[in-house]
Structure 1
Amino acid sequence: MDLDALMLSRIQFAFTIAFHIIFPAFTIGLASWLVALEFNWLRTGNALYRNLFRFWVKIFAVSFGLGVVSGIVMSYQFGTNWSRYSEFTGNVIGPVIAYEVLTAFFLEASFLGIMLFGWEKVGDRLHFVATCLVALGTLISAFWILSANSWMQTPDGFAIENGNAVPTDWFKIVFNPSFPLRYAHMVMACYLTTAFAVAGMSAWMLFRSWKEPETRLAGARRSLSMALWFAVIVVPIQIFIGDLHGLVVMEHQPVKLAAIEGNWDRQANMPLRLFAIPDEVGEKNDYEIAIPKLGSYVLTHAFDGVVPGLKDVPPQDRPPVWPVFFSFRIMVAIGFAMLGLSVWSLYLRWRGTLFSNRLFLRAAMIMTPSGFGAVLFGWFTAEIGRQPWVVYGQLRTADAVSPVSAGAVTASLLTFVVVYAFVFGFGSYYLAKLLRKGPEPVEDLPEDDPTKTVRRPLSVPDEGLEGRPGHEAPMAR
């Protein structure tokens, strides 16, 4: 590997985006999780949901802040390391990113403070509106970012003038061929990332404190149950969306698909390769384990369907095969592991042992980072599979790099590594402390306690219990 400015710039961008993407992937789902918790509290008056909200909103705040910091650092590189890319795509990507700031970031920033600090000031209903708008802002942000990235994968609605891309049809730019399914796939991935993170952390709380009183474990039980119900529904949907997305990749990025499948020759009746060692020099696969004809059926929905091969294009137009081949399979394996845990949870729920099966709790704990892993390996598949193009079929990565020295890129890369280690090290430490503490327990009141009656619509049952141990002052309305 030649560590020139191009390779170092690619390593630097891969390093920063790998750090950045895990935080939006978590906070997009976590924002909607907070909406669900607050909605259930307003609907039922059960203080358990309120306590869960107050616990998870702290996790959201720290993760959101880390995501903003890492996003700023990532965008900084467009001007320093990838100036030719900025010049070529500026007329298209620049406005799309500006729309993200105007429609999403401002919305999140405007209502985030109310969501985090304003509950005692604005009342319950307006606070819930703020929470909904923050969640909506995260989805709008994902919309524009995925639109911009999808345009780089399947560019449309533009013309080349004076060597640069200029827009001709904004609808085709925003809703380019790969965008709708990529957006749906990414949002579902974010939701599953949060679901399995919440389930795993809740399982850990149950596992370490399973002999504690019921009141101390109620929050962990409820979080685990809700997260797993969500996973049971969404995991099959995500697998279905992934299958549809594969058809789009085959139509618009056939070389990427060939690398994903490790398919060298265009052929019908292509086998489904479960494992292989791609040999890029010999243009073949070693130690291949495959199911005959099933690959063609999965990709074309016909056993005799023709699948493109890597040899359809010259070697210089092919992506690195083995990282694309293996990252895709790791992503798929994680997806089916999610499906397996979801089905297992249904069985245990039926048996009434969901919260007491120690083996299942261990498995849920192991699956805590599974969503992050699936997002990262899916991103590796998409971005490495696009090579050698930074804008597919239009601008090569080698032609997009800035005229900077390898020494300058090395210095900035080392600086990022040190700063990230410091900032994200402390951020991770603080998150671990919050998770170790867990949500506050909800004390059970005597059945004949008249204060259990809800005084006003959407008020909490324990309102007016200030001064009693274990109860907080009433919230302002």
Structure 2
Amino acid sequence: MLDTLLLSRIQFAANISFHILFPTITIALAWFLVFFKFRYDQTGEAVWLRAYRFWVKIFALTFALGVVSGITMSFQFGTNWPGFMERVGNIAGPLLGYEVLTAFFMEATFLGIMLFGMKRVSPRLHTFSTLIVAIGTTLSAFWILSLNSWLQTPAGYTLVDGVFYPENWVEIIFNPSFGYRIFHMLIASGLTASFLVAGISAYRLLKNDHKHAPKLTLKVSLTVAALLAPVQIFVGDLHGLNTLEHQPQKIAAMEGLWETERGSPLLLFALPDEDARTNHFEIAIPKLASLILTHDTEGEVRGLNDFIGEHPPVTPVFFGFRIMVGTGVLMILVAFVTRYTLWKRSALPDWQLKALVLMTFSGWIATLAGWYVTEIGRQPFMVSGLVKIEELVTNVPSEHVLLTLIGYLTLYAVLLTAYIKTLFYTARNAVQVEEYQAIPAQEGQYA
């Protein structure tokens, strides 16, 4: 049952799941660092620099894992999906190349100054380097999301003998779903980084870290989370409407709707049965799906039975969407409650600090669930409506793919465990540093 196609899909899912954890943090965390550094340059208050120096260590570690895991993603196009580059390489290749020529070169050039140049260059150049790295991480997301969005909503191409050729690069880059997806992802990164900063800061406070830096970063991160959360709801709604227009079968799977109907209910829970093409144990709110998706209680939503043989597997998309939304709602509640408490009081009670520690990696859960909905929701196609995945897979024996899959999973489990332990070790170590030791006097201009 574990054939080459299935194993290759599992391996790609494992690789992208591990990889995306780290860019999701670094994209927004870089902008947190820019803010901390600008505030230090403006005010001269050492606490901002202490915050910067602590979190730049976390950024460096996360960035390194993101780069290394991203390399394996590129290798897979040749090892597991040779048909992909043969058919789509004329479009995918340049977009990936643009990422290297712009984003990666910017990051590689200025990252060294950002990490090691604080005592060797002027404060302005160091702050500028931090800004360029932040811009580079965002540009990287721009090009990757452009390619992924094109696979979801292809445009600007010519198809000759099954091979895609670029016809209009503006239409390719700014394809119909790109604008919604890039903003949705950037905000998701902001929320992921906010809860990471809040969770680690809360952990330090629970460990009796009485310095001002963790209190300050906690306040900043919760403010960012509270501001971004309602924006994400708005952007998510626009993204859903765009998906309904261009990928109605994905929406049908997300909602668990089998029949096309007006006044479609919103299923809070159900057990989809793809064999019987029905749901069991439904808990629904009448007409709410139509209201959300069409902004009309009697709006028509197409069902899965309109796309037999060309719709994604329903169960993972259905539950993935609910995990994403449920985690997002929990993040909103925690952000609002804790930020309100900080507004009314100077400190959070222990139970709220513990809740934030538990929510440290909540952004990862929401992001992974969202990406599973996006990627599984494109099935059975690699390029939506045009090229099916089974046409592109390698003919390597399944035993070989299984061997590499086991190797990847083992390595990723070790790396992820080490990464999380290192984060909390770094936080515990920071607790032991005395306030006056946080910025050594010999650093001259930064003392």
TM tier relative to shorter chain: over 0.9
Aligned counterpart, 2:353: 361
Aligned counterpart, 1:464: none
Q: 1:469, 1:35 → 2: CA distance?
A: 19
Alignment pair present for 1:420 and 2:389: no
Alignment pair present for 1:220 and 2:232: no
Aligned counterpart, 1:454: none
Shift of 1:280: 0.7
| Gap runs ≥5 in structure 1 | 444-467
Secondary structure, in 3 states, of the residue corresponding to 1:302? coil
Q: 2:49, 2:298 → 1: CA distance?
A: 56
Shift of 1:95: 0.3
Q: 1:388, 1:31 → 2: CA distance?
A: 36
Which of these residues, 322, 337, 343, is aligned with residue 336 of structure 2?
343
Aligned counterpart, 1:262: 256
Aligned counterpart, 2:365: 373
Q: 2:307, 2:69 → 1: CA distance?
A: 37
Aligned counterpart, 1:447: none
Q: Deviations over 1:285-344 (max 9, x none)?
A: 111111111110000011111011000012x21211011000101100111111111221
Alignment pair present for 1:243 and 2:237: yes
Aligned counterpart, 1:164: 163
Q: Deviations over 1:372-394 (max 9, x none)?
A: 11110000000001100011011
Work out whether residues 107 and 133 of structure 1, in 8 Å CA contact, stay in contact via their aligned partners in 2. yes
Q: 2:359, 2:414 → 1: CA distance?
A: 26
Work out whether residues 99 and 143 of structure 2, in 8 Å CA contact, stay in contact via their aligned partners in 1. yes
Secondary structure, in 3 states, of the residue corresponding to 2:296? coil
Aligned counterpart, 2:228: 234
Work out whether residues 219 and 441 of structure 1, in 8 Å CA contact, stay in contact via their aligned partners in 2. no
Aligned counterpart, 1:475: 444
Work out whether residues 48 and 442 of structure 1, in 8 Å CA contact, stay in contact via their aligned partners in 2. no
Moved more, 339-348 or 53-62: 339-348
| Gap runs ≥5 in structure 2 | none
Work out whether residues 121 and 476 of structure 1, in 8 Å CA contact, stay in contact via their aligned partners in 2. no
Work out whether residues 66 and 424 of structure 1, in 8 Å CA contact, stay in contact via their aligned partners in 2. no
Work out whether residues 200 and 424 of structure 2, in 8 Å CA contact, stay in contact via their aligned partners in 1. no
Letter in 1 for 2:4: A
Q: Measured at CA, do residues 238 and 441 of structure 1 come closer, stay the same or move farther in structure 2, by a change above 3 Å?
A: farther
Q: Measured at CA, do residues 125 and 321 of structure 1 come closer, stay the same or move farther in structure 2, by a change above 3 Å?
A: same
Q: 2:444, 2:86 → 1: CA distance?
A: 53
Letter in 2 for 1:323: P
Secondary structure, in 3 states, of the residue corresponding to 2:393? coil
Aligned counterpart, 1:449: none
Shift of 1:133: 0.1
Aligned counterpart, 2:138: 139
Which of these residues, 395, 412, 429, is aligned with residue 437 of structure 1?
429
Alignment pair present for 1:319 and 2:318: no
Q: What's the TM-score, normalizing by structure 2?
A: 0.97
Shift of 1:366: 1.3
Work out whether residues 218 and 441 of structure 1, in 8 Å CA contact, stay in contact via their aligned partners in 2. no
Q: What's the TM-score, normalizing by structure 1?
A: 0.91
Letter in 1 for 2:334: L
1:6-405 matched pairs, under 5 angstroms: 6-209=5-208, 216-314=210-308, 316-352=309-345, 355-405=347-397
Q: Deviations over 1:36-77 (max 9, x none)?
A: 100111111010010110110011111111111100011111
Shift of 1:219: 1.1
Alignment pair present for 1:411 and 2:411: no
Secondary structure, in 3 states, of the residue corresponding to 1:475? helix
Work out whether residues 341 and 348 of structure 2, in 8 Å CA contact, stay in contact via their aligned partners in 1. no
Letter in 2 for 1:341: V
Q: 1:193, 1:470 → 2: CA distance?
A: 28
Shift of 1:431: 3.0
Secondary structure, in 3 states, of the residue corresponding to 2:159? strand
Shift of 1:427: 3.9
Q: 2:413, 2:358 → 1: CA distance?
A: 24
Work out whether residues 4 and 401 of structure 2, in 8 Å CA contact, stay in contact via their aligned partners in 1. yes
Q: 1:128, 1:291 → 2: CA distance?
A: 51
Q: Deviations over 1:349-374 (max 9, x none)?
A: 24315x23122112111111111111
Shift of 1:424: 4.2
Q: Measured at CA, do residues 407 and 470 of structure 1 come closer, stay the same or move farther in structure 2, by a change above 3 Å?
A: closer
Q: Measured at CA, do residues 195 and 469 of structure 1 come closer, stay the same or move farther in structure 2, by a change above 3 Å?
A: closer
Letter in 1 for 2:278: K
Letter in 1 for 2:429: K
Q: 1:356, 1:369 → 2: CA distance?
A: 20
Work out whether residues 41 and 47 of structure 1, in 8 Å CA contact, stay in contact via their aligned partners in 2. yes
Q: 2:440, 2:170 → 1: CA distance?
A: 54
Work out whether residues 151 and 176 of structure 1, in 8 Å CA contact, stay in contact via their aligned partners in 2. yes
Q: 1:67, 1:276 → 2: CA distance?
A: 36
Q: 1:313, 1:127 → 2: CA distance?
A: 55
Q: Measured at CA, do residues 421 and 283 of structure 1 come closer, stay the same or move farther in structure 2, by a change above 3 Å?
A: closer
Work out whether residues 50 and 439 of structure 2, in 8 Å CA contact, stay in contact via their aligned partners in 1. no
Letter in 2 for 1:85: F
Could you say which structure has the larger radius of gyration?
Answer: 1
Q: Deviations over 1:411-453 (max 9, x none)?
A: 211222233344444444433321221375534xxxxxxxxxx
Work out whether residues 204 and 365 of structure 1, in 8 Å CA contact, stay in contact via their aligned partners in 2. yes
Letter in 2 for 1:67: G
Q: 1:341, 1:377 → 2: CA distance?
A: 19
Q: 1:470, 1:114 → 2: CA distance?
A: 18
Shift of 1:162: 2.2
Q: 1:299, 1:286 → 2: CA distance?
A: 23
Work out whether residues 219 and 339 of structure 2, in 8 Å CA contact, stay in contact via their aligned partners in 1. no
